[in-house]
A and B are shown apart, each in its own frame.
Chain A
């Protein structure tokens, strides 16, 4: 070592020259090491923080649409003969009224040109099946509405809602140049004008063809070479087909003057908008075009002075909402009939198979009831067990074994508790399936070890002087513990309980076995009603095929996080009140 070598010879005493360069360098190195360590720590925190931030931002971004819904405001004619044919205003009769017809009649009245069956079905599908239920509830709340005409917000279906949330296609609109002559034959429309009004659109279509040709060409280039003597028939056929396709596309793209037919499966749709009408172009030439009237005009049209062309960037076959769907919705939007509102429904209704109707309330109440049962069961049991083991139990082999087992239990996979719950509570005690009562009991078993361990640590952390002082002034052992030690250990016990409850809040695996992973529409009113919990709801929604449920999933995650914050916040407040210092 360098320090010993620096000691004066023969003295045997270690002296230390703090001023020497070497010592200075050592000090510097130690400070540097500390600064580096601090930096690592800071980086670790920032790194973890960045992950949390990205995660939260992603969930918020995906989940926000779930908190809003789109409705169309319609004038509904609450015809008494449809709602209350007897005229006695009895609740039962009102409940059986044909509200769906009222809503659908008003909805279809917007687009009288839609008569064909399949088209009408598409139009009707844009309104949620829950709209009639909304109207029923409003009428039952206020029967005086019957016979009146009211403005009523009608909920749109998930696909329509997704369109307004920007998840169907990008729409770009440009004004058209020059006047158009219009010839309407039923729903078929012929448009023509002088000065090549469609030249720009046609050029755009041709540019798209060129891109297609490149794509097919790339596919052709990827085909493997024919092998000598091998069976290449399929390969050669494919090659010939692709070559032909490329040549054809190139030829069409190169011929600037020729008309083009729109292929709706691979090309963006182009819609002419004028006078409230929407015309989908099917055949485009430079000076004239043929189209189909998706939405009829407000008044007779023969000549259009001003018109606009809207391009739906995503080809029709690549999205759920058809060109007609989008045109209907956009027409209503232009008329100012569409409103966006906060979705209180998300918080007031239970689960549903219709994404626009599904709400979180059932799961929220279920989680609250389940955790209530868990808390009532495991807090007294856990604290009692901890107090006994820490303060009263004799230290012998039996309590040693007990302690080891409690520690082991804390590490048992949670599904095992579910199996135990199934065997014990359902099969042996005959408690009802899917009930928050059973869920709460199973979760209580799950978090009991956590609470016992945390409570014991908290009790151990209370200075022995407190207990000794109490005993010294004549308190019994029990009095010393319950009057002095336990209150001081309470903050620690509460911390343990919070961790345990947060753990319980996020569990799904043990609930699978006792039937809480289920589709439950009715909101549980008691701990014995069937119910589910928030994480289960998240899991179930994430697994459904409808796209709109993805937003619901993220929304439910936000609600779960909110629930956790509220729970932890309340616990921290309580802990503050109990906190003592010594």
Chain B
């Protein structure tokens, strides 16, 4: 059959073409966190419009997956930058070093607040993270301080001042980066607020970690999928339910949902950037220095990300929901980018 040979020859031809493509890449490639994706794509688009280079391709692979690809090596087959919703871990840094990715530029691009929110139809709520822990955890301290399966079905069982409504929380599934932050930013500090668990932390670290890393499975916590828009829609339909998601979703949907005041602080731009609001985190972009000057525009990308018009007050990233870094800190970042200062690996979390 003629067409069969045609097919084979097309593949052969395509491979020949692609060999040429792979040896010289003229387009920046970025991978990593889905939380940072909305911001990096905005910067990428801006760079494509004004920077005189092709618009970078941004993949949403998750922080961990992005780190792995980023640290796999230097060369056109590996991404030039990765998004991260947390700092690079020491293990990842070492993996990078081992694979020849020696010089990495770290950009702290801004903050993301993890919020708990509910429909505007219901009265505002104030919670402490200890109360959130008691509502979410699988095992909570009983009257004698020993861990028992979570008995709380309604909010007023946790604290009589809370409304008599069933506990119903929609949140991210275990595969999501937001879920990690839910554990680390809400449940762990919450557990530490509870005296019985604080004592447990000192005596049995493992049991303590298990307590805040395990979410109840009796139906009070509903995994709502990676799509935060779906959670917003469900909250609108169900005024007694709460949702856990990033601050940008709360801001975008401020017409329909309201944030829960946590530990006495309302989730707002200011309270998050001053880190007064407890469940907030920093977001990072890591850039390979070895690729600067090889892949056109990579330095411009880093500069654009820390520029005033992008990350400054009133910049376009703020409109996308990023809580900007204070000016002094951003000036340091700008200087670092201009000098292509690389990270040393000191002070990285485990």
Binding site for B on A (CB under 8 A): 121, 125, 129, 133, 215-216, 219, 222-224, 226-227, 230, 232, 234-235, 237-238, 314, 317-320, 352-354, 373, 376-377, 379-381, 383-384, 426, 429-435, 437, 441, 515, 517-522, 526-528, 530, 540, 542-547, 550
Contact = CB atoms under 8 A, between A and B. Distances in A.
Select the residue from A317, A320, A430, A521 with max chain B CB neighbours within 10 A: A521
Given A381-B4, A432-B21, 10 more contacts: A318-B255, A319-B255, A320-B254, A353-B38, A376-B6, A377-B10, A426-B77, A430-B18, A522-B48, A547-B253
Interface in B307-322: 314, 316, 319-321
B248 interface: yes
Interface string B205-229: 0000000000000000000001111
Contact of A222 (B27, B49, B159, B164): B164
B57 A520 contact: yes
A353 B41 contact: yes
Interface in B3-61: 3-4, 6-7, 10-11, 14-15, 17-19, 21-22, 27, 29, 34, 37-38, 40-42, 44-45, 48-49, 54-55, 57-60
A430 B29 CA distance: 16
B229 A435 contact: no
B163 interface: yes
A377 B229 contact: no
B156 interface: yes
Select the residue from B14, B77, B123, B159 with max chain A CB neighbours within 10 A: B14
A149 B221 CA distance: 61
Contacts of A379: 3, 7
Given A376-B10, A521-B55, A544 B38 contact: yes
Contacts of B320: 353, 545
A380 to B, nearest CB: 4
Contacts of A224: 156, 160, 164
Contacts of B248: 545
A377 B57 contact: no
B161 interface: yes
A226 B14 CA distance: 77
Contacts of A515: 57, 59
A84 to B, nearest CB: 18
10 contacts: A224-B156, A227-B160, A235-B161, A353-B41, A353-B45, A380-B4, A383-B1, A441-B11, A518-B59, A544-B38
Contact of B227 (A133, A314, A542): A542
B305 to A, nearest CB: 14
A384 B227 contact: no
B59 A545 contact: no
Contacts of B49: 133
B300 to A, nearest CB: 16
A234 B15 CA distance: 71
B1 to A, nearest CB: 6
Nearest to A233: B161
If over half of A's interface residues share one DSSP class (helix, strand or loop), that class is named, otherwise mixed; here it is loop
Nearest to B319: A125
Contacts of A237: 161
B120 interface: yes
A384 B254 contact: no
A426 B319 CA distance: 37
Contacts of B164: 222-224
B4 A222 contact: no
B204 interface: no
B249 interface: yes
Contacts of A437: 14, 18
B252 interface: yes
A256 to B, nearest CB: 28
A545 B7 CA distance: 43
B22 A430 contact: yes
B57 A519 contact: yes
B38 A376 contact: no
Q: Rank and list the top 9 A-B pairs by shortest CB-CB distance, nearest first.
A: A521-B55, A234-B161, A545-B252, A380-B4, A519-B58, A519-B41, A518-B59, A353-B42, A319-B255
A219 B15 contact: no
Given A222-B164, A377-B7, A543-B229, A521 B255 contact: no
B160 A230 contact: yes
A234 B21 contact: no
B256 to A, nearest CB: 8
A239 to B, nearest CB: 9
Contacts of B256: 318
Nearest to A167: B255
Contacts of A435: 18
Contacts of A215: 123
Nearest to A531: B57
Given A318-B255, A542-B229, A518 B21 contact: no
A315 B163 CA distance: 25
B117 to A, nearest CB: 13
A353 B229 CA distance: 16
A429 B77 CA distance: 12
B44 A429 contact: no
Nearest to A316: B255
A381 B7 contact: yes
B4 A431 contact: no
A505 B168 CA distance: 38
Contacts of B18: 429-432, 435, 437, 528
Interface in B50-107: 54-55, 57-60, 77
A543 B21 contact: no
Nearest to A319: B255
B228 A434 contact: no
Contacts of A544: 38, 229
A226 B156 CA distance: 12
A546 B41 CA distance: 14
A433 B163 CA distance: 52
Select the residue from A314, A376, A383 with max chain B CB neighbours within 10 A: A376
Interface string B252-271: 11111000000000000000
A232 B15 contact: no
A224 B321 CA distance: 38
Interface string B312-345: 0010100111000000000000000000000000
B48 A320 contact: no
Interface string B116-127: 000010010000
A444 to B, nearest CB: 9
A543 B321 CA distance: 14
Contacts of A354: 45
B314 A222 contact: no
Nearest to A548: B252
Nearest to A486: B1
A224 B123 CA distance: 16
Contacts of A542: 227, 229
B163 A545 contact: no
Nearest to A387: B1
B161 A380 contact: no
B38 A528 contact: no
Given A430-B19, A430-B22, A543 B44 contact: no
A384 to B, nearest CB: 5
A229 to B, nearest CB: 13
B4 A429 contact: no
